[in-house]
Amino acid sequence: MQALTMNTTAIENAFERFEAAASKTAVAPLQNAQTGSVEAAAARTQLSANLTVTRTSDAMMGSLLDMKA
């Protein structure tokens, strides 16, 4: 269960990073377009990885419960 708790924090962090990159780009699009795009892509990758961890953790927990039953 600790993996899910830690992953929730990481997912929230990814959303915050994406929002910060979007805000930074919106304020000064010509100056921050490149860094904003890179930061947004990194946040999407972080989110995708953490969602995969959450799915895997959920599947493992289900398997463990099935073994116990």
Q: 42 with 35: CB under 8 angstroms?
A: no
Where would I find the H helices in 1-69? Answer: 2-27, 29-68
When comparing pLDDT for 16 and 67, which is higher? Answer: 16
Task: Look up the pTM and report it.
Answer: 0.76
Residue 4 has pLDDT above 80, yes or no: no
Please report the pLDDT score of residue 1 as a whole number: 61
What percentage of the chain carries pLDDT values higher than 90? 46
Please report the pLDDT score of residue 41 as a whole number: 93
Domain ranges of the chain: 2-30+49-68
- Mean residue pLDDT across the chain: 88
Average pLDDT rounded to a whole number, residues 25-43: 89
